[in-house]
């Protein structure tokens, strides 16, 4: 059996490491765009719905940007007829408008269920300064973006929740630049996420679009976090873009009287360490201390606010700054008021609900959320689980699928590695067991460790039952710092009356987190504990599950499913679901259900136990 198993893994490994040269991925090169020299392109854009991809391919299916990039019928050329006789069958300037950032589904009633291609166009002027470079930066586009400026293709990005950018310095003109983005949100069996999900497939340019102006040699990326295993030293790195000779970089933390000079000799990652004084105040959930940080060269100054804390596990304990903690959490989708959440105000509203619930922890499911969420979590003292959408039935033997997942993982770690709030990188949710799946996740875990050795790694796993005992023994748990699992006793099986006496076991001497549990309730629908969909049933479900969870071995946290009701085409029961998953503790309209207060009371108790 061991020989067969190794042979199967070897075959899968060969599939995964095949050349990916045929796939084009835009990379996120610029971090911390909040404090750079930027110009927003948010606002009103023109759009054209193109289900037949008329603006992309010719009569016989030839792709214009490969076969005929100057074709007047190619939408990315934004062509206008030169006389009244010429045949041109599109016009962005006469087409309807839509707001960016935003999803097309809830902005346009006729596009609620639309999946396919929509073209976006934005015209703008830009006066480029001497010795400057300009990049176009997208916070996220769902799902696949092909980007053109002034008729020239910049590139492709795949993945609906991660940032990317392109340099546009040599294409800019002073007036009437036209930026065209082909957005396609078709679900695909080889994609990440795959065809089958349980949330709304919001299409569009869903996060900020900005122009970032940089000097010729600029600070591309930096890291400042406490060194693993040493709370008295900061381990950092600096990366300069387009460096041809050595350059001095100054790191300052004024409040700690720290000034460190680093001589950067190449455009790769340049590592350094800084000793911190004993007066340092560590970031924690009760006092989320953030220090002003300055990174500067002769040509540029970047500012940030960074907290310093340690996170580790020891046996069954999760330890923050040397103290064992219990994760009082809630899972959150990037949705509010029945639409994609895309503003800082949206993020603040979601996290304020979590704080009101008594949380010290949020699980951002099932994909990287807007960067606003992480900056606010830093300020509000909320620990964060970040996740990529390796969800359910991913194609684990497909090399392109693996590269896509790895690319999304790299992007979110690159973006958020300086955020003290982020303590867990999650590589998967509810993935079915197989040798291929184990190898896929193992490779993602190794990749995560290569990018960030200071944080914890987990995944939302499934469990099994034997002789009435719940067993938490997914093989991939061997490679995780935290063993997390989803369970829905009382909703997708199992009775609630006997839940408090249920027995669980695990072979892992590691922290255990229940990453999901819950059940649906239509806010305002009342009845007894024996009537599904009522607030009373959901309330009872929470009471019984919490009594059960307290007895699970090594339990160190929970993140019930979910903070707010959210849209899902899978949920069709008229009068109850109406296209919404109703497992929220708060309705899509912002009204709290009875179970909200059950969990809030439980968290008050757990806070006292772990203080």
| Confidence check: pLDDT of 555 > 90 | yes
| Residue 279 near residue 517 (C-beta atoms within 8 A) | no
Mean pLDDT of 104-113: 97
Tokens linked to 50: 């193109």
Residue 268 has what pLDDT?
77
pLDDT value of position 29 = 76
Query: Given pLDDT bands bounded at 50, 70 and 90, which one contains residue 376?
Result: very high
Q: How many CA atoms lie within 13 A of 543 on its CB side?
A: 11
Secondary structure of residue 435 in the 3-state scheme: helix
Side-chain half-sphere CA neighbours of 537 within 13 A = 22
Q: What is the average pLDDT value for the chain, to the nearest integer? A: 94
Q: Mapping DSSP to helix (H, G, I), strand (E, B) and coil, where does residue 78 land?
A: coil
Distances (CA, A) of 593 to 63, 219, 339, 536: 52, 48, 20, 9
Q: Which two tokens stand for residue 268?
A: 């790769």
pLDDT of 10 reads 43
Q: Is the pLDDT of residue 89 over 90?
A: yes
Percent of the chain's residues with pLDDT above 90: 92
Tens-digit pLDDT profile for residues 125-159: 999 999 999 999 999 999 999 999 999 999 999 99
The model's confidence at residue 16, banded by pLDDT at 50, 70 and 90, is: very low
Q: What is the pLDDT of residue 11?
A: 38
* Per-residue confidence (pLDDT) for residue 121, from 0 to 100: 98
Among 1-5, 247-251, 281-285, 431-435, the minimum mean pLDDT is found in 1-5
Q: What is the reported pLDDT for 26?
A: 56
Cα separation, 336 vs 351, whole angstroms: 11
Q: Is the pLDDT of residue 27 over 90?
A: no
Per-residue pLDDT, averaged over 58-85, amounts to 95
Contact 182, 146 (CB under 8 A): yes
Tell me, what's the pLDDT at 269? 79
pLDDT band with cut points at 50, 70 and 90 for residue 13: very low
Lowest mean pLDDT segment, chosen from 104-113, 309-318, 579-588, 602-611? 602-611
Question: For the segment 239-265, what is each residue's pLDDT rounded down to a tens digit?
Answer: 999 999 999 999 999 999 999 999 998
**What is the per-residue pLDDT across 470-490, written as a single tens digit (0 to 9) for each?**
999 999 999 999 999 999 999
Residue 306 has pLDDT above 90, yes or no: yes
DSSP string, 5-23: HHHHHHHHHHHHTS--TT-
Average pLDDT for 230-243: 94
pLDDT for residue 21: 31
For 121-134, what is each residue's pLDDT tens digit? Answer: 999 999 999 999 99
Distances (CA, A) of 97 to 119, 244, 375, 577: 11, 44, 31, 31
Q: What is the mean pLDDT of residues 212-219?
A: 96
pLDDT greater than 80 at residue 611 = no
Give per-residue pLDDT as tens, 325-364: 999 999 999 999 999 999 999 999 999 999 999 999 999 9
pLDDT of residue 4: 37
Residue ranges of alpha helices (H) inside 317-395 are 344-357, 371-380
The answer, yes or no, to whether residue 38 has pLDDT greater than 60, is yes
pTM of the model: 0.94
Count of other CB atoms within 10 angstroms of residue 570 = 12
Distance between the two ends of the chain, CA-based, in angstroms?
49
Residues 412-428 pLDDT 10s: 999 999 999 999 999 99
53: left (phi over 0), alpha (psi -120 to 50) or beta: left
- β-pair type (469-471, 503-505): parallel
Closest by CA position to 350, among listed 586, 604, 93: 586
What confidence score (pLDDT) does residue 266 get?
81
Name which residue leads in pLDDT, 16 or 264.
Answer: 264
Strands (E), 150-257: 152-158, 164-167, 177-184, 209-215, 218-227, 230-241, 247-253
Ranges 20-29, 364-373, 535-544: which has the least confidence? 20-29
């Amino acid at each position: 059996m061991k020989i067969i198993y190794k042979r199967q893994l070897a075959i899968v490994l060969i599939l995964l490491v095949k050349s990916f040269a045929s796939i084009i991925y835009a990379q996120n090169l610029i971090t911390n765009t909040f404090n750079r020299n930027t110009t927003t392109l948010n606002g009103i854009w023109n759009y054209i719905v193109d289900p037949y991809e008329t603006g992309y391919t010719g009569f016989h299916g030839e792709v214009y940007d490969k076969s005929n990039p100057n074709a007047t019928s190619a939408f990315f050329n934004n062509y206008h007829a030169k006389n009244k006789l010429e045949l041109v069958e599109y016009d962005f300037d006469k087409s309807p408008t839509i707001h960016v950032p935003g999803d097309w589904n809830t902005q346009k009633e006729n596009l609620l269920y639309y999946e396919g291609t929509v073209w976006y166009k934005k015209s703008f002027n830009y006066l480029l300064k001497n010795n400057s470079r300009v990049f176009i930066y997208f916070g996220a586009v769902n799902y696949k973006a092909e980007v053109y400026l002034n008729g020239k293709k910049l590139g492709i990005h795949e993945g609906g929740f991660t940032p990317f950018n392109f340099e546009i310095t040599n294409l800019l003109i002073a007036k009437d630049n036209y930026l065209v983005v082909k957005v396609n949100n078709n679900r695909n069996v080889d994609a990440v996420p795959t065809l089958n999900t349980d949330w709304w497939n919001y299409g569009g340019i869903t996060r900020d679009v900005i122009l970032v102006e940089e000097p010729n040699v600029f600070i591309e990326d930096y890291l400042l976090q406490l060194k693993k295993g040493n709370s008295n030293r900061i381990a950092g790195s600096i990366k300069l873009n387009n460096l041809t000779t050595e350059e001095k970089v100054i790191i300052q933390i004024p409040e700690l009287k720290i000034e460190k000079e680093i001589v950067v000799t190449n455009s790769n990652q340049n590592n350094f360490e800084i000793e911190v004084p004993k007066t340092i105040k560590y970031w924690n959930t009760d006092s989320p201390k953030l220090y002003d940080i300055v990174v500067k060269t002769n040509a540029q100054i970047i500012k940030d606010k960074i907290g310093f804390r340690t996170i580790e596990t020891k046996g069954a304990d999760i330890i923050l700054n040397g103290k064992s903690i219990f994760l009082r959490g809630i899972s959150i989708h990037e949705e509010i008021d029945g639409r994609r959440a895309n503003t800082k105000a949206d993020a603040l509203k979601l996290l304020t609900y979590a704080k009101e619930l008594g949380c010290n922890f949020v699980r951002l499911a099932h994909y990287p959320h807007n960067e606003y969420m992480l900056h606010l979590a830093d300020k509000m003292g909320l620990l964060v689980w970040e996740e990529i959408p390796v969800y359910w039935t991913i194609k684990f033997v497909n090399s392109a699928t693996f590269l896509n997942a790895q690319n999304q993982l790299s992007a979110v770690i690159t973006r958020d590695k300086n955020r003290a709030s982020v303590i867990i990188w999650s590589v998967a949710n509810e993935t079915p067991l197989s040798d291929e799946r184990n190898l896929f996740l193992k490779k993602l875990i190794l990749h995560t460790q290569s990018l960030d050795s200071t944080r914890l790694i987990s995944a939302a796993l499934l469990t099994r039952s034997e002789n009435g005992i719940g067993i938490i023994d997914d093989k991939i748990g061997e490679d995780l710092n935290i063993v997390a699992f989803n369970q829905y006793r009382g909703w997708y099986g199992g009775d609630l009356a006997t839940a408090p006496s249920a027995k669980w076991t695990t072979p892992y001497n590691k922290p255990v987190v229940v990453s999901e549990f819950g059940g649906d309730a239509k806010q305002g629908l009342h009845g007894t504990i024996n009537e599904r969909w009522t607030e009373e049933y959901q309330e009872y479900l929470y009471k019984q599950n919490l009594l059960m969870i307290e007895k699970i071995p090594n339990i160190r946290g929970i993140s019930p499913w979910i903070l707010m009701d959210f849209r899902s085409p899978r949920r069709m029961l008229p009068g109850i679901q109406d296209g919404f998953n109703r497992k929220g503790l708060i309705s899509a309209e912002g009204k709290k259900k009875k179970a909200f207060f059950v969990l809030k009371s439980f968290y008050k108790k757990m806070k006292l136990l772990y203080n």
